[in-house]
Amino acid sequence: MRNIVILISGSGSNMAAIVRAAEQGRWAQCLNAQVAAVLSNRSDAQGLDFAKDHGIPTQVLDHKAFASREDFDAALMAEIDGHAPALVVLAGFMRILTPGFVAHFAGRLLNVHPSLLPAFPGLNTHQRAIDAGCRFAGATVHQVTAELDHGSILAQAVVPVMPDDIADTLAARVLTQEHLIYPQAVAQFLTQSPMRSKRG
């Protein structure tokens, strides 16, 4: 069985979408894959309750308890490795990962970013898209590399930017598409098939 470990820091809505897709799509039978654990750097991450309710083991590693980013990432790597992961999925994990961590999981580390990469890497993507006068925005699932938001693109979804949009309304529209393309991209990645772009 190929294990998927998901990292969250908050509500874990993308994690929940992946868990539901794994259950409904019978990933254990069809893909020989399962969500083996959900880890968080915050004990108050709401997504932990969802994972527990679905019988998924959870673990909290408080980054504030470590002297350095490197120390935290080393401990996190050890915890993840305990689940022998075939895939590590970042789902709203609000930490910048060290190069050593990224290198350790190279080729099996995925993230979803709320823009149409390569446009608007980093933070405040929705406001930046609005300020730039973009007619379209969206989300991107990509492999994680040492360079922020620059890994190979696995899937994208496009949404319109409305004339009256503010960052929050655009973010909500994009998040709906994240919940669709992230589980699809994870499943396609596990089958090693190309993921075609989906327009929303």
Burial (CB < 10 A; 0-12, 13-18, 19+), residue 119, is middle
How many whole angstroms separate alpha carbon 172 and alpha carbon 39?
24
Task: Give me the catalytic one of 54, 63, 83, 113.
Answer: 113
Question: In Å, what is the CA distance from 195 to each residue of 21, 35, 148, 156?
Answer: 16, 20, 21, 9
How many whole angstroms separate alpha carbon 3 and alpha carbon 57?
12
Angle at 143 between CA 137 and CA 146, to 5 degrees: 105
Q: How many CB atoms lie within 10 A of CB 19?
A: 26
Q: Based on the residue annotation, tell me whether 113 is a catalytic residue of this protein.
A: yes
How many whole angstroms separate alpha carbon 11 and alpha carbon 15?
9
How many whole angstroms separate alpha carbon 179 and alpha carbon 155?
12
The dihedral sign for the CA sequence 26, 29, 32, 38: positive
Report the catalytic residues. Answer: 113
